[in-house]
Structure 1
Amino acid sequence: MTHRQDLLRAFDALLAPERFKDYGPNGLQVEGRDEVRRIVSGVTASRALIEAAVARKADAIFVHHGLFWRGQDGCVTGWMKQRLALLLAHDINLYAYHLPLDAHPELGNNAQLARQLALRATARFGEQDLGFLGERVDGAGFADSDVLATHVRAALGREVTCVPGHAGPIRRIGWCTGGAQSYFEAAIAAGAQAFITGEISEPQAHYARECGVTYLACGHHATERYGAPAVAGHVARELGLEHAFVDVDNPA
């Protein structure tokens, strides 16, 4: 058992949110009960995740996508009311870390995606150094874009969108989880032969073909479902707390 403020300090010490310019508040977004024994982690603070936390009698929820974002109108209606009502009725603390969770070199989304894909990072690129650049752990590389796409598809257990750009073997790979299609140009400039992220927008297909760099969109949720349980599990072990990860399915 630990106090919610001690849990907040543990998350902050690990993820250093003060280093990032982010799209919403990082840390304790909704205050619940003082004492925490059980944490549930997930990707997004959806109603389904909160309901699962209630069923597991959780004292705290740890997520990548919290409730509050820059540009919201601030009205507590509809889905926002429903989520907040559940949290407040059951006195559950909500902790959310966005870019700090992407960036952590060992436990973050990018690092944990690399672990799933058997990649190792050798450099960073892009705004706030959120993009990772590296190669296959065994150094073997991939024979071509199709082989890389097959490898990613098998590792993540879902279909991927692949726009072949690089002709021939692929060794230098850039990646940035979630909605990081805007990092593609920085990955190209950093020397990547392929780029892996969650989403694709219209311009990236043209960049891939014209710049000779393969682009793989593998799902926003699918690429970001590893960091939250890694961080929450790590902190829970340090503080002697119970932890469970709930993966609410999302096709995006």
Structure 2
Amino acid sequence: MAHLNEIVQWCDQTLSSNQFKDYAPNGLQIEGASEVNHILCAVTASDAAIDAAIEAGANVLLVHHGYFWKGEPYPITGMRGRRIKKLIQHNISLLAYHLPLDAHPSLGNNAAIADLLELKHIEALDPNEKFPIGNIGDLKQALSPEAFKAKLQDVFDFNIIHLPAQVESIQKVGFCTGGAQDFIHQAAVQGCDAYISGEVSERTFYEAQELNVHYYACGHHATERYGVQRLGKALSEHFSLEYTYFELNNPI
């Protein structure tokens, strides 16, 4: 059993959340029970994730995608209102970390991808960022574009979209999880042979060709499964809590 404030403080400090200019508030978004013994983790605070937290008897729902995004209307109505009402009725806190959970060098989504792909010589995709939300790494051995796609397919269990370039061998890889397809320009500046993100846009097809960087869309959800699991496990070990990961496979 741990106190909610202790958990929030530990996460905020560990992830340096106050250092990020983000699209939504990081940290405690909805306050529930003050005492916590079970955390349920999910990529997104969907209705299904809330139901899973209720069924598991969790006191905290820990997610990468929470609520209150910039540009959203202020009234708490409709779909978001129903979600928030359900959390409050069941005294469940919502704890969300977006960019801080992408960037963390050991718990983050990008760190997990580097480990899964066994990349080495990890550097910042943008050297000007104090806390990089994208990275660069080298494969242990160069692969053909087709072999690299097959490797990604195995790692992410996702129908990979490959937008080809002229480079015949892939060694240096840029990557940033989620909807970061436009960072392909930065990958080109850094001399990457390939760039990985979650989503893809119509313009990305031409950018891959003209920048000569292979682009691989590996799924927004699929590339961001790992940060919440790593953070949840770290919390469970630090505070002796039970934690559960809820997977609702999203094909986007």
Tell me the TM-score range normalised by the shorter chain.
Answer: over 0.9
Contact in 1 for aligned 2:134/2:176 (Cα 8 Å) = yes
2:194 corresponds to 1:194: yes
Which of residues 136, 149, 155 is equivalent to 1:133? 136
- Which residue of structure 1 lines up, in the alignment, with residue 32 of structure 2? 32
Q: What SS class does the counterpart of residue 9 from structure 1 fall into?
A: helix
Separation in 2, partners of 1:45, 1:120 = 33
- How far the C-alpha of 1:47 sits from its partner, in A, is 0.5
User: Residue type of the partner of 2:134?
Assistant: G
Q: What are the ranges of 5 or more consecutive residues in structure 1 without an aligned counterpart? A: none
Matches within 5 A, 1:8-47: 8-47=8-47
Instruction: Please tell me the residue identity of whatever aligns with 2:201.
Output: S
**1:166 shift after superposition:** 3.8
Question: Alignment RMSD, CA only?
Answer: 1.1
Separation in 2, partners of 1:180, 1:58? 32
Amino acid at match of 2:135: F
> Which string of whole-angstrom CA distances, capped at 9 and with x for unpartnered residues, describes residues 120-150 of structure 1?
35210237421110012xx2121x2111111
**Percent identity (aligned):** 39
Cα distance between partner residues in 1 of 2:214 and 2:141: 18
Q: CA deviation at 1:31?
A: 0.2
d(CA) in 2 for partners of 1:220, 1:166: 25
Q: Measure, in 2, the Cα distance between the counterparts of 1:151 and 1:111.
A: 17
Native 8 Å contact 2:167 2:193 kept in 1: no
In structure 2, the residue corresponding to 1:29 is in which secondary structure?
strand
How many residues matched?
249
- 1:161-209 Cα offsets, whole Å, 9 max, x none, are 0011142211000000000012110111011110000011122111111
Q: Distance in 2 between matches of 1:83 and 1:232?
A: 22
1:74 is matched with: 74
Q: In the aligned structure 1, how far is the partner of 2:49 from the partner of 2:169?
A: 41
Matches within 5 A, 1:1-252: 1-126=1-126, 128=129, 129-136=132-139, 139-142=140-143, 144-252=144-252
Q: Which runs of 5+ in 2 are unaligned?
A: none
SS at match of 1:140: strand
